[in-house]
Structures are given as C-alpha cells and as structure tokens.
Amino acid sequence: MRWAGKSIIPVLTILAVLIAVWYVAAISMNAPFQRDTNARGGVQPGTWEFIGQTLSQPKPTLPAPHQVAVNVFESTFLRKVTSNRSLVYHSWVTLSSTLAGFGLGTALGILIAVGIVHIRALDRSLMPWIIASQTIPILAIAPMIVVVLAAVNVTGLVPKALISTYLSFFPVAVGMVKGLRSPELLHLDLMRTYNASAAQIFWRLRVPASVPFLFASMKVAVAASLVGAIVGELPTGAVAGIGSKLLAGAYYSQTIDIWAALVAGSVVAALLVTLVGVAGRVVERSMGAQPS
Amino acid sequence: MRWFTPSWQVLVAIVLCVVAAVLGPASGPEAGALADPTATIIYPYFTTKDYIFGLIFPAGAISMMRIPAVAAALVLFIGAHGAAWLLLSGIAGFEGTALAPFYLLLAAAWLLAWRCVTILSSLAPAGRGERMLLRLLIPAIFGLWLLIIWEAVTRGAGVPFVLLPPPSAIAARIANSLPILAADVKQTILKAVLAGYVIGCGAGLAAAILADRFGFLRRGLLPIGNMVSALPIIGIAPIMVMWFGFDWHSKAAVVVVMTFFPMLVNTVTGLAASGHMERDLMRTYAAGYWQTLVKLRLPAAAPFIFNALKINSTLALIGAIVAEFFGTPVVGMGFRISTEVGRMNIDMVWAEIAVAAVAGSVFYGVVSLFERAATFWHPSVRGG
C-alpha cells in the first residue's frame, strides 16, 4: 500500500500528459480533413472554432478522448444490455468464451504438468516441445480453427474457447511444472522420513508449494485467452464480441467504435487479471502464507 | 541375472498384434478380397503385412532380452518406425478404408516407440556430445510420432481434406509453393516484423534508460507498463491499418507498440539488478552516471533485456500476422492465411503455419545465440 501511495502521483501525472498528447495529436491528425471540408464548404472558421471542429468529427482519424468516453458511456449504460449495440453484450460474448477456454486450458495445463513431473519419458519428450511452442505464433491458426470447425457445424462459443484453451494452457503447464518441482530436496527428504507415499507427497507438499506459481501463470494465461477469444472473432465475420466490433469498425471506418471496443477489451482484461490476482491472494492467505 | 526383463509396453504391443492377426483384414478392400478369392482386388498390405508382424514381434522380443540398453533402444527404434512406415505407405491410396487391425498395429508400433523412449530416458551417458544427442533425439521421436499418428488417422479414417489434411499433403504443398511462401515471408517477416521489432525494442530500451534517470518517470511508467502488458494490444491493428495504409508500415507500427512495453518493464527491472557493492565500487572510481550505466548496469541488465527480446520475437510475429487480417496488399502470411481459409485450401494454411513456426523458432534461436555470446558470464549460460 505504501508503494501504491508513493507512485499514485507519478502515475496520474503521466496519464495526464498522455491525455494531453492525445488531444494535441487528435487536433493535428484530424486537421487536414477538416481543412478540406471547410474549404469545400467555403467556411472560414476561427482558430478555436476550428479546433472544436477537429475534436467533434463523426469519423475522425484519431477520436478525442472525450468522444471515446461518451461512446463507451452511451453504449455501456444507456443501451439495453441485450441490444446488439451494447458494449456490455459484446464484452459478455467475448468474456464467456474467454472464461470457458481459460478454465479448460488451466485444467489441461495442470494435468500435463502433473504428467510431466511424474513420468520421466513424458518429461524428456514433451517438455522441449512445450518450450518450443512458446516461440511459435500460435495465434496464426485461430482463423483456421474457427472456419474448419464451422465446416463441421461447430460454431459459436466452442471454436473461440478452443483457441483460448490452446493459448492459456502453455503458460499454466510451464508454470505448474516449475511449481510442482519447487519443493526443496530437504522437504522431500523429510516427507520420505515420514514414510509418505507418492500421493501424499503430491497432495501435502507439491500441490501447496505450487499454488503461488499456479496463480502467477494463471494471470498470464487469462490475458492470453482474452487475446485468443478476440482474435478468434476476427476472421469469420462473427456477429458478436469485441473482436467483431473491431472488425466492423475497421470496415465502416467507425473509429470511435474501434476505440470504444478497445477500451471495453482493456477493462475486461484488467478485471480478469485483477480477479485472478485477488483470488490468488485469498487462497494463499487461507493456506497460511504471509501477506507480502 | 535374468536373461529376460518383461516390459508392459512390449507385452501389450504383442497382445495387440495377436488380436490384429486374429481379426484378419486390415482394410475394407482386403476384407472384400478375402470374401471373394476369385476376384483380383488390389488391397493395401498385399505383400507387406507379414513384414509388419515380422518387425514388431522380433523387435519387441529382442528388446526384452538382456542386451545393452542402447542395442535394445536401437532394435525398438527400427522395429517401431519400420512398421509405422509400412503401415503409412500401404494405406496411401486407400483412404478411409482402414479397419480395426490397422489401428491395433499402429498402437503396437507406438507402444514399441514408447518403450524405446523410456529406455533412452533412463540412459545417462558420460560424454557431453552423447547427452546432447539424447536431448535432441527423445523429443524428436515424440514429434515424429505426433506426425505419424496424425497421418495415420487422417488417411486411415478418411478425415475430410478441408478438416485436417495429412502432414504429407502439407509437406507436398510447401514444396510446390515455395515462391509464394518466400514472397509472404519477405513481406511479413523481413519487412514488417524486423522493422517493427528493431524500432519497438530500441524505443523501449531508450524509454527504460530515461525512466531510470528520472525516478518520477519510473514510478509513473512502471505500473502503467505492467498493466498494458495484460491488455489485448493486438486490437490497435485496425487503427494502425487506417493510419499507415495497407502496406507493411502499419504492421510494423503494431509490432512497435506490442514490443515496446515488455522491453520497457524488463529493462527497468534489469537496471536495478546490479548489486550495491559494484555500484559503490564504481563510485569509488569517481565514475559518472553514464559510465556506470554503460560499464556496469547495462551489462548487468543484459539477461533481462534478452528475456524481453525473446518474448518480443514471438509477439512481433503474432502482431504482424494478425494485423494483416485487417487489410494488406495481396501478399503476406496473415493475408494468405485469411484468404486461403476462405477458399478452404486448408493445406496452404497449414503450410503457412509451418513456415511461421519455423520462422518463429529461428528468430528465437538467433536471439538465444546472441544471448549466449553477450551474457557468457551469467550462471545460467556458464553452467550449461
């Protein structure tokens, strides 16, 4: 908390500078188009009036922060949640496939990690591939999974959730292998002097030791699975979701909509990561860890 | 001293073989030929079926004898992969006709390979070269079997081509469309990824040094940088395409933004990594800020900087490929993936993904090589 108090002023200052830069950039980037429009209309506005015009275009090159804020506010609070134009609706569509994929991916990652820690042949043969797979742009197969599954009549939530699963299980598997191996030799020896069975060592020593690693990698995984869900919505002209909102905005040059969708995605991401972090802290505290 | 050590993988494999022999025909045409001996029906494994049994049985049996582990592994390797090769080459041309014995034989061969890997994993050779060879061989066998099972299932069960093409078809497609793939790689990787990567990492490094110089900036930027790394930055792709046009410049811009923050956060962490003793030593030398930075703190931060460079190598590829989904000239890996998916040329998509995987691994490997050269003093490299 002390740390947060010390950095709150710098953070706010930098955010203020960023917003100021944003306004300046918005004015200068929107100016050429506005000048053209005014020249065609034969209007000669004053400097302040001109700046006002650049900040209130319907399809600006760079929308001003307040335009984005108004759009986000309107499409979040003023429209019915079930409406096609509500950001809450689109966020929910993306969130549901993110969560489904995240849950599945975490379970799969833990399962693989348990296998790797206990079966030597699996460790030697699978682990290099898991590490190598981190270097591959996995996201590139997202469109294919969606289209191919649509060809066999699997549409909607499942394909997107599969992409999220795929993206989120790698961090969890790698983190859990590290976590399950984190107990020191001393502790393992102690368990052995207690004549503990393999299952007992696993449940009483390895699992508790791996919990901090699990939550750290789940934070990465949940962010990755959100990206997976958004990209999964891009290729097929999906009808709903943050990704489809981005794509529709790109097609019709609705820049304000794109930025609003970005804001929605960021809010969802921040919420998910915070939620996992809080869950991790609660679990660790209930297991007797010292709050750091 | 027993002359015979049973292993459950080999025993199960032999049981599977016996079941396969009892069940008889391994494919639809073969069943037809047996039912009607007078007709001449060409069927898979017309002559090679005995060889398959002849490979699996002796290989399994010999491997359980008391022979050196290397010899047992070699025998199993030959038996498993010879049988797999016969099975795969036989089913080509008879897609979708495989019956239960085909899969049983495949499973038997796979169990032999598993046994082979188990023996290899328990080996602990003394020489460094041999250890290295084992470290490569074991995952290679795993990868090979992934491909074999993929090929066998897609061909044996006749999985529709649009759903999942067999790896051999993908390899053929890669070989046939090298010019297109080369053009795509040139557009996406050599132009967009490299330009964006260099600018993004350079800017991140510069911003980190600035943030290090001014504590106020660091306290403000670090929380923001940490938060941004969790956001779906990829979403700025449509905006960048709108600003910088369809060509590679817009993709490079996406890559710049995606690589900036990991570099910033890691470098700031790394610059704090040098110890108090070393910094005090620099002070006793009357070294200025820049001298301390260049001679002590940047080298000490190198492992962190290279970590960011590695993370960014993957992020850069993803950013460039996904940004191409929003609009490109008619060349580029992302463009090819999205259009060929639309035309249901799934094998071309897989070819492009294979190329992307290889490119990503090479990129990562090159960065790792530089890391080994630059941080030769670090325990993780020295101990290797």
> Is B101 a residue whose pLDDT tops 90?
no
3-state SS, B150-167, equals HHHHHHHCCCCCCCCCCH
Chain mean pLDDT for chain A: 82
pLDDT of amino acid B384: 47
pLDDT of amino acid B307: 87
Amino acid sitting at position A12: L
Percent of chain A with pLDDT over 70: 94
Separation in Å, CA B22 to CA B25, B29, B45, B46, B101:
9, 17, 16, 17, 9
pLDDT of amino acid A194: 92
The answer to whether B232 and A94 are in contact (CB under 8 A) is no
Pick from B193, B203, B204: nearest CA to B249: B193
DSSP state, residue B126: S
> Which residues of chain B neighbour A269 with C-beta distances below 8 Å?
230-232
DSSP state, residue B98: B
> Is A220 a residue whose pLDDT tops 80?
yes
pLDDT confidence band for B128 (50 / 70 / 90): confident
**Token digits of residue B73:** 């592994």
Amino acid sitting at position A31: A
Overall average pLDDT of the B215-237 stretch: 82
Please list, in sequence order, all residues whose beta carbon lies within 8 angstroms of the beta carbon of residue A119, skipping any fewer than 6 positions away: none
List the single best residue of B112, B318, B340 to mutate versus A (max A Cβ within 10 A).
B318
pLDDT confidence band for B197 (50 / 70 / 90): very high
For residue range A243-286, list pLDDT tens digits in order.
888 888 877 878 888 888 888 888 888 889 889 989 988 988 88
Residue the block writes with tokens 């504590």: B215
- Burial of A78: CB neighbours in 10 Å, binned 0-12, 13-18, 19+: exposed
The answer to whether A253 and A59 are in contact (CB under 8 A) is yes
pLDDT confidence band for A1 (50 / 70 / 90): very low
Residues A15-39: b if buried by 16+ CB within 10 A, e if exposed: eeeeeeeebeebbeebeeebeeeee
* Element holding B144 (H helix, E strand): helix B128-156
Does the distance separating the beta carbons of A121 and B118 come in below 8 Å?
Answer: yes
pLDDT confidence band for A3 (50 / 70 / 90): low
Q: What is the ipTM of this complex?
A: 0.79
> Is B368 a residue whose pLDDT tops 60?
yes
Q: B144 versus B135: which is more confidently predicted?
A: B144
Percent of chain B with pLDDT over 70: 94
Measured distance between the N- and C-terminal CA atoms of chain A, rounded to whole angstroms: 10
pLDDT of amino acid A105: 93
- Distance between CA A224 and CA B232 in Å, rounded? 8
pLDDT of amino acid A103: 93
Residue the block writes with tokens 């975490």: A106
The answer to whether A101 contacts chain B (CB < 8 Å) is no
pLDDT of amino acid A5: 60
Give the nearest partner residue to B114 out of A121, A141, A152, using CB atoms: A121
- Distance between CA A24 and CA A18 in Å, rounded? 10
> Is B381 a residue whose pLDDT tops 80?
no
For residue range A132-185, list pLDDT tens digits in order.
777 677 777 777 777 777 777 777 778 888 888 888 888 898 889 888 888 888
> Which residues of chain A neighbour B231 with C-beta distances below 8 Å?
223, 265-266, 269-270
3-state SS, chain A, equals CHHHHHHHHHHHHHHHHHHHHHHHHHHHHHHHHHHHHHHHHCCCCCHHHHHHHHCCCCCCCCCCHHHHHHHHHHHHHHCCCCCCCCHHHHHHHHHHHHHHHHHHHHHHHHHHHHHHHHCHHHHHHHHHHHHHHCCCCHHHHHHHHHHHHHHCCCCCHHHHHHHHHHHHHHHHHHHHHHHHCCCCHHHHHHHHHCCCCHHHHHHHHHHHHHHHHHHHHHHHHHHHHHHHHHHHCCCCCCCCCHHHHHHHHHHCCCHHHHHHHHHHHHHHHHHHHHHHHHHHHHHHHHCCCCCC
Please list, in sequence order, all residues whose beta carbon lies within 8 angstroms of the beta carbon of residue B167, skipping any fewer than 6 positions away: B147, B150, B151
Give the nearest partner residue to A137 out of B135, B217, B317, using CB atoms: B317
pLDDT of amino acid A267: 87
Pick from A246, A280, A275: nearest CA to A263: A246
Find residue B98's DSSP bridge partners.
B27
Q: How many beta-carbon pairs under 8 angstroms link A with B?
A: 172
pLDDT of amino acid B285: 92
Separation in Å, CA B123 to CA B4, B72, B111, B131:
19, 12, 19, 9
Does the distance separating the beta carbons of A223 and B230 come in below 8 Å?
Answer: yes
Does the distance separating the beta carbons of A269 and B337 come in below 8 Å?
Answer: no
**Token digits of residue A123:** 């460790």
The answer to whether A101 and A165 are in contact (CB under 8 A) is yes
CB atoms near residue A100 (< 10 Å): 19
Three-class DSSP category at B4: strand
Pick from B22, B3, B120, B108: nearest CA to B60: B108
- Distance between CA B240 and CA B253 in Å, rounded? 7
Q: Which of residues 9-68 of A touch B (CB under 8 A)?
A: 10-15, 29, 61-62
Overall average pLDDT of the A4-9 stretch: 71
Q: B93 versus A9: which is more confidently predicted?
A: A9
Does the distance separating the beta carbons of B333 and A219 come in below 8 Å?
Answer: no
The answer to whether B35 contacts chain A (CB < 8 Å) is no
CATH code for the part of the protein at B174-382? 1.10.3720.10
pLDDT confidence band for B223 (50 / 70 / 90): confident
> Is B54 a residue whose pLDDT tops 90?
no
Q: What are the boundaries of each domain within chain B?
A: 8-159, 174-382
Q: Which of residues 172-201 of A touch B (CB under 8 A)?
A: none
Q: Which of residues 201-260 of A touch B (CB under 8 A)?
A: 219, 223, 226-227, 230-231, 234-235, 242, 246-247, 249-250, 253, 255, 258-259
Separation in Å, CA B259 to CA A65, B172, B211:
24, 35, 17
Residue the block writes with tokens 């990209």: A231
pLDDT of amino acid A13: 86
User: Could you tell me how many residues make up chain B?
Assistant: 384
Amino acid sitting at position B71: A
Domain covering A87-286, topology: MetI-like fold (1.10.3720)
pLDDT confidence band for B344 (50 / 70 / 90): confident
Pick from B328, B329, B327, B331: nearest CA to B352: B331
For residue range B294-324, list pLDDT tens digits in order.
888 888 888 889 988 988 888 888 888 888 8
- Distance between CA B141 and CA B139 in Å, rounded? 5
**Token digits of residue B296:** 């002590």
Helices A87-118, A242-251: inter-axial angle, 10-degree rounding: 130
Q: Which of residues 252-271 of B touch A (CB under 8 A)?
A: none
Separation in Å, CA B155 to CA A152, B139, B172, B344:
18, 24, 15, 19
Tell me the CB-side half-sphere exposure of residue B26, using CA atoms within 13 A. Answer: 30
> Is B20 a residue whose pLDDT tops 60?
yes
Say how far residue A68 (Cα) sits from the centre of its chain: 20
**Token digits of residue A153:** 């009549």
